[in-house]
Amino acid sequence: MNEQTKVARQEETSARAEAALTPPVDVVEDAAGITLYADLPGVPRDKLHLHVEAETLTIEGELDLEMPEGMEATHAEVSLGRYRRVFTLSRELDTEKVSAEFRNGVLTLRIPKAEHAQPRRIEVEVA
């Protein structure tokens, strides 16, 4: 194997390692903030990683789909071993108060609106 072939194979392996499934996501907004639901089947809690940096939310999860010993898949639709999805968050959201719950392969994130973006009622005084 020459040096050029070796580099090409390393790049291919690196690209495959970076490749990921895009989990389906539903986002629901109400007056108080947003709720994000992400389907991550096959991801155990300890292999789920959430990161918020500045206005970027990253969801990553590694699949735990091991074949039983002595068995081999004859057809596999999920060939990538991880999920990854990145979102740009509005400045109206308070990323310091994100809450997360993970149950039955569904991640639920609640991100409230920042204080300055919350609707508020203004009282009018009678003069």
The mean pLDDT of the chain is 83
**CATH value at residue 96:** 2.60.40.790
Cβ 33 vs Cβ 110: under 8 Å: yes
Residue 61 lies in a domain: yes
Q: Which residues touch 47 (CB under 8 Å, ≥6 apart)?
A: 61, 62, 63, 64
Residue 89 lies in a domain: yes
**What pLDDT score was predicted for residue 13?**
43
Amino acid at 53: E
Residue 59 lies in a domain: yes
Which residue reads 């007056």 in tokens?
31
Residue 49 lies in a domain: yes
> Which of 13-27, 39-53, 84-98 bottoms out in mean pLDDT, i.e. has the lowest?
13-27
Chain segment 47-104, per-residue pLDDT in tens: 999 999 989 999 999 987 777 888 887 877 766 789 999 999 998 999 999 999 999 9
35 vs 127, higher pLDDT: 35
Residue 104 lies in a domain: yes
* Range(s) of the domain holding residue 103: 21-67+83-117
Domain count, the chain: 1
**What pLDDT score was predicted for residue 75?**
78
Cβ 83 vs Cβ 60: under 8 Å: yes
* Cβ count near 57 (within 10 Å): 20
